[in-house]
A = this chain, B = another copy of it.
């Protein structure tokens, strides 16, 4: 039976989603899920995610699939997995899927969120694992930059090295930047900013490079008008902004084609 999993995790303690084949494999989300499935089934059940998340990156709604023994029909996979998983990884849903459902190949759209904190002098300790403390940002300048990124582009310039993906064209369907409500417990501070981006797919570290690019605009280090030329260079080295750190990033949602009711 094929299972579709909806998974939420705090990525701080993990070396990303994907299992690393090393003599001493570091902790990974996929590894933790496969270890939990081994405890429940006594078998190696391979877990296929919608995509990798980097070391330290979080997810509110990562999607994965795996094939579990049929004999377990009626078994409460969600409850059982949560009972044996570490507490920083939680299964929100575990439902039977079509035999050919594929978490990565079938994904239509993904949405990521990136959080910016604007006070270098104080970062609430509760928020530290979830934000980039990059100092003050000019929201208007950042918002001016967004239209240059929307739509279909070759995003090779916002891809970090280390993948052999051939087609680097992606369509950025939506990008929004909003101020979050203040943390009620702390003295008045500059609001936290959250970027939410939706695309038909993302290249390696593309969201973190986009966040770095927008922050550079918001810090006045770059003009939004420079973005088209930098994208057109198709080279990460042509883009002077930094790759934003992983802790600010979370995979929010993966969307699939609607399935016909049985």
A residues with a Cβ closer than 8 A to B are 8-10, 58, 60-61, 78-79, 82, 87-90, 92, 121-126, 128, 130, 185-187, 250, 252
Cα distance A57–B2 in the bound complex, in angstroms: 42
Cα distance A240–B233 in the bound complex, in angstroms: 70
Of listed A8, A82, A87, residue having the most chain B CB within 10 A: A8
A8-B125, A79-B121 given; name 7 further pairs at CB < 8 Å.
A8-B124, A10-B126, A60-B186, A87-B125, A90-B125, A126-B130, A185-B250
Nearest residue, chain B, Cβ from A89: B125
Assess whether A60 is in contact with B130, with CB atoms less than 8 Å apart. Answer: no
Closest CB of chain B to A119's CB: distance in Å?
Answer: 11
Cα distance A126–B78 in the bound complex, in angstroms: 18
Nearest residue, chain B, Cβ from A85: B125
Cα distance A88–B123 in the bound complex, in angstroms: 10
**Chain A to chain B: the 6 pairs with minimum beta-carbon distance, closest first:** A60-B185, A10-B125, A88-B125, A90-B125, A87-B128, A10-B126
Of listed A87, A185, A250, residue having the most chain B CB within 10 A: A185
Q: Which of B79, B90, B252 contacts A124 (CB 8 A)?
A: B90
Q: Which of B92, B121, B124 contacts A187 (CB 8 A)?
A: B92
Closest CB of chain B to A70's CB: distance in Å?
Answer: 25
Nearest residue, chain B, Cβ from A123: B90
Assess whether A185 is in contact with B90, with CB atoms less than 8 Å apart. Answer: no
Q: Which of B58, B78, B121, B185 contacts A61 (CB 8 A)?
A: B185
Of listed A78, A82, A121, residue having the most chain B CB within 10 A: A121
Q: Which residues of B contact A92 (CB under 8 A)?
A: 122, 186-187
Q: Which residues of B contact A252 (CB under 8 A)?
A: 185
Assess whether A186 is in contact with B8, with CB atoms less than 8 Å apart. Answer: yes
Q: Which residues of B contact A60 (CB under 8 A)?
A: 124, 185-186
Cα distance A260–B87 in the bound complex, in angstroms: 49
Cα distance A90–B125 in the bound complex, in angstroms: 7
Assess whether B122 is in contact with A90, with CB atoms less than 8 Å apart. Answer: yes
Nearest residue, chain B, Cβ from A11: B125
Cα distance A88–B128 in the bound complex, in angstroms: 8
Assess whether B78 is in contact with A121, with CB atoms less than 8 Å apart. Answer: yes
Cα distance A126–B92 in the bound complex, in angstroms: 13
Closest CB of chain B to A10's CB: distance in Å?
Answer: 5
Q: Which residues of B contact A87 (CB under 8 A)?
A: 125, 128
